[in-house]
Every structure is written in C-alpha cells, then in structure tokens.
Amino acid sequence: MVFEQEEEVAPGAVYGHRLSTVVPSSVTGEVDYALADADLAFKLHYLRGAYYYPPGDVARGLTTKVLKDPMFPWLDEYFPVAGRVRRAEEGAPAGAGAQAEAAAEGGARRPYIKCNDCGVRIVEAKCDRDMAEWLRDDAPDRLRQLCYDKVLGPELFFSPLLYVQITNFKCGGLALGFSWAHLIGDVFSAATCFNKWAQILSGKKPDATVLTPENKPLQSHSPAGAAAPRSVKQVGPIEDHWLVPAGRDMACYSFHVTEAALKKLQQQGRHAAAAGTFELVSALLWQTVAKIRGNVDTVTVVRTDAAARSGRALANEMKVGYVEASGSSPAKTDVAELAALLAKGVVDETAAVAAFPGDVLVYGGAHLTLVDMEQVDVYGLEIKGLRPVHVEYGMDGVGEEGAVLVQPDADGRGRLVTAVLPRDEIESLRAVLGSALQAAA
C-alpha cells in the first residue's frame, strides 16, 4: 500500500519533493521489538548514505514504481524498520509483551519499537544539475540535499525510522539517499539492509534475515551518578525529540584520498607499517583538526569488526573506545606515529557505553570521533547489474567535536572521507588537507 503527499522544502538545486509511504506486503501483527542497551546508546544519531547511478538505459528504467515494488517483500523481512518508537508504560501488566519486560528489567518508560507496519517514507525529488557537475562540486552539505532531513520526535509514534529519497538528475542519472535512525542498527546493518533490497529488485534471493535472539536489557548497569565513559558525552535526559543541537552550525564535507596519496602515507617510516589504511587516513585527519583547533589530545574511535558480529540483521555492534596522545601535541606528531597509536592504543569501552544508563552522544560528543567503515559493503547496492559509481556516507546528530567517516572508494584502492565538523572549520580543513594531500601525492 502506498500513501502520497506533497511537502514544502526550502528551495535549492534539489526540489519538487513528493512523499509517499511503503509498508510490508503482509500484516506483521502488532509485534513488539525490544531494543538493546547498545541500540539506545546511539539513539541520538542518524546515518545518511547517498548512492549515485550514472545516466543510461538502466537508470532510465528505474522508475519510482520499479524501485518501490520490491520494498514490500523487503519490509516483510525487515519489519521492525517499518515500525515506530514507543515507550514502555509504567506498571505494564505481565504478559503485555516486550515493553512490559523491558520496563521491568531496563527501567520504566524504556523505548521499544512497535512493529505496526506504519512503513518507511519514500521521497521523490529532482535536481536541476548534471550528476558529473554535482560530484565535481565539493561544496559542503551536498549529501544532506540527497538524504531527507528528519529525526525522531517530538512525536515519536509518528516518526519513521527510515526515509528513502529518489533524486533524478537533469542528465538522467539517479541518486538513492537513505536517512536511517542509528537506533535500529549501525552502518554495517544499514548497508546490508539496503543491499538486500537491491537483491530482491534484481530478482535474486537474499540470505535469510535474522532478528533473533530477542534483545534483552543488560543485567547490570553503571551505578546512578557514575561518570560517563571517556569515549562519550552525557547529555539530557532527552525526552521525545531525539536530537541534541551541537551548539555550532555543523557541515558535512566529503573528499577523496587517492591511491597515490595512500601509498605515500604508507611509506612514512616504520610506524606506518604497523598501521592499516583506516588508521593512516584517520591519523591525517586527527593531525589536521589538531592544527586547526590548537590541540586535540584525545579521540573517540568507532570501528566495525565483521568477524565479531552476532549475525543479527539489525544491531549496533560497533566497537567504541578512545585513544589519548602522549608526549607532543598531535598537531606536531607525525601521521605515521599517530596511526600506530590508533592501531594499538585504543582503550575499549564498548561494554561500558552500553551499560551507562544515561543519554549520550557517541559521535562528536566528548571528542573528535573517527569512524571505521573499512568492512562495510557500501558498493553492494547493485541494481539490475548497475553498480553505483559513487557512494558517500555522513551523519547527523554529531556533537561539535565532530566526526570523520572513512570508507573505501569505488575501486577500493583509495578512500572517501566525510568530515562532519563545525562549518567555520571547513575552509581551514580544505586548506590544511590540500597541502598535506598534495605533498603526499
């Protein structure tokens, strides 16, 4: 079933937004989906991902109807994504479902997802520019124009967990933009979910979607009044509008680190040999931001470890920790030395973050946050044999310390970096990075 409506959006290169809703093809039956403590730790953050497809016969054939039709069986598999957030009622009677158990074990008013088939929002839009021109223009916030800008609340029971924006460029190219509430899963879960939709669209049979075992609240939490782990910043308590204003105007800026630049970074002495690509690129950004701000002694690191995942289709299982520089300022430390520190010096606080009972900002809250997407299959969203020519991920709900996302580029030999930083730091970032990358090339 599809419901449509028009919505007014501020004028710009992307315009003509038209909203509709897609629901599962079969009735889920008012199932309650319990959220893990780790899910709730990320509830104030939102992933934004844009996939670009070049003009041609395949792209021209991808009408909105063609893209929507496989979403019905897709949401049958991922039915929690079509639900809405609720809060457990105090004093819920025994046997009232997952929310009653959560209220008893995890505290009153604990959020959960009511799987009521309210659906995901589909947004149709147009862009008055050619895709090639759009990609050449490295202006901040191009990603946000392709991913619908909504968060959860203040009316949680009306707020979709996922928006899919279909943007048609003037040249005939196509962009698919996903706005995903981090609450329901990390970037690995999100990308896998989107890839399964593409498999169904292409007539393939995807692997089974595993949503068991049921999430349970942790048996023990940090004591009341305990300090938040060093990796994150305590905020709130947050009521029903799940966004914490950063206090500064944040911008989302993407740029490419070429294969040649990476090879140059990898040749910077013995320390570089001990570090991976993520560490080297992150170290360059750490050093750059430290030069802009004067000093950044500590960073938060959020990493994907595919081998350690539980197999659940929807989960927040990224590792969270922090690294503290010792000795000289990171602004004056070699990139290779910082990379070695990132490779071996992370203090893991994953369990402590999940166990902390208060609301927190993981990304950009306590420190500049470095996000590892090396093992995320961002180019797996292949539609009828058409592979995206460019993919970029960003984030909303980032604190003013900022976040840096590092992912493979289209051929896997370079890296695409998205920096979410205060807007007044972007020009300085460009200038400092431009010199560093030019020297490395």
Distance CA 145, CA 134 (A): 11
What phi and psi, each to the nearest 5 degrees, are found at residue 53?
A: -120, 130
Cβ-contact 365, 329 below 8 angstroms: no
Look up the pTM and report it: 0.92
Distance CA 172, CA 169 (A): 5
Strand locations in 269-382 (E):
298-303, 319-324, 347-348, 359-361, 368-372
SS3 for 160? coil
Cα angle 166-416-410, degrees, rounded to a multiple of 5: 70
Give all domains of the chain, ordered by start, each with its CATH number. 14-89+105-202 (3.30.559.10), 233-377+390-439 (3.30.559.10)
Each of the 441 residues of the chain gets a pLDDT tens digit; together they read: 454 555 444 446 899 999 999 999 999 877 899 999 999 999 999 999 999 999 998 888 999 999 999 999 999 999 999 999 999 875 554 334 544 444 444 455 899 999 999 999 999 999 999 999 999 988 889 999 999 999 999 999 999 999 999 999 999 999 999 999 999 999 999 999 999 999 999 999 999 999 988 898 887 777 777 899 999 999 989 999 999 988 899 999 999 999 999 988 888 766 656 789 999 999 999 999 999 999 899 999 999 999 999 999 999 999 999 999 988 899 999 999 999 999 999 999 999 999 999 999 999 999 999 999 999 999 999 998 899 999 999 999 999 999 999 999 999 999 999 999 999 999 999 999 987 776 655
Cβ-contact 398, 406 below 8 angstroms: no
